[in-house]
Amino acid sequence: MAAATSMIFDRETSSTPPLGEVEFGRQGSEFCGRPTPNTLQSLMLWPNSIRRAIVMLIETSLFSWSKQVGRPCGAVAAPKEIGPGPRLQEHRKYLQKLERDGEISTELENTAWRILLDLLDAAGSSLAIPDACPGSDGQLLYTWDQAEHHLELEMFPDRHVEFFYRNRRTGGLWEHEQDVTDGLPLDTIAKLRLFT
């Protein structure tokens, strides 16, 4: 890996070692893993997927010098989780299992997945991944619970969806029905953002 990553760091203009050779725990005026000014130029030569991964690493992990200001080199914050992460992939596998087991149709499985991605896009990637369960008539129910807030999204095989919200503290209720091809109204997005 050190040979492949040596392009990321400019050995000629910096005493910072390449990505695979960063020394951790050093104190003093040197930063651990600080990229050189030529980092972005070097990254432009790499394929998009690798560039995105490296940039994410730089921004969110050990090599983000902006997050290390005031900390000794060995005291680095844990990387932030970007978006829903593994729970989103677990959810996808669960939907596929429900479809394989015949509890929901292939069309509803695909629709539910697309709806969830649309909800994440509309409400923000920090939207909690909902709990999901199939209904007795081939429908699928998503539920979100956080403090006093409860939200349900029921998806039917005929591409009809129903939202239901309840505030446990105030007793306030809200409902909304629509076809999956309709855009999300602002009040629905506002309810979803309660779960971010």
Question: What per-residue confidence (pLDDT) applies to 46?
Answer: 52
What is the torsional sign of CA 181, 150, 176, 139?
Answer: positive
Q: Tens place of pLDDT for every residue, the chain, 196 residues?
A: 433 333 333 333 344 334 443 333 334 444 344 444 444 445 455 555 555 555 444 444 433 333 334 433 333 443 344 455 788 899 999 999 999 999 999 999 999 999 999 999 999 888 999 999 999 999 999 999 999 999 999 999 998 999 999 999 999 999 999 998 888 889 999 999 999 9
Question: What per-residue confidence (pLDDT) applies to 100?
Answer: 96
pTM: 0.57
Between helices 86-100 and 106-123, what is the axis angle to 10°?
A: 160
Please list, in sequence order, all residues whose beta carbon lies within 8 angstroms of the beta carbon of residue 164, skipping any fewer than 6 positions away.
151, 152, 154, 173, 174, 175
Which contiguous run of DSSP H or E holds residue 68? Answer: helix 65-68
The helix/strand/coil state of 141 is strand
| Extended beta strands in 1-147, E state | 131-134, 140-146
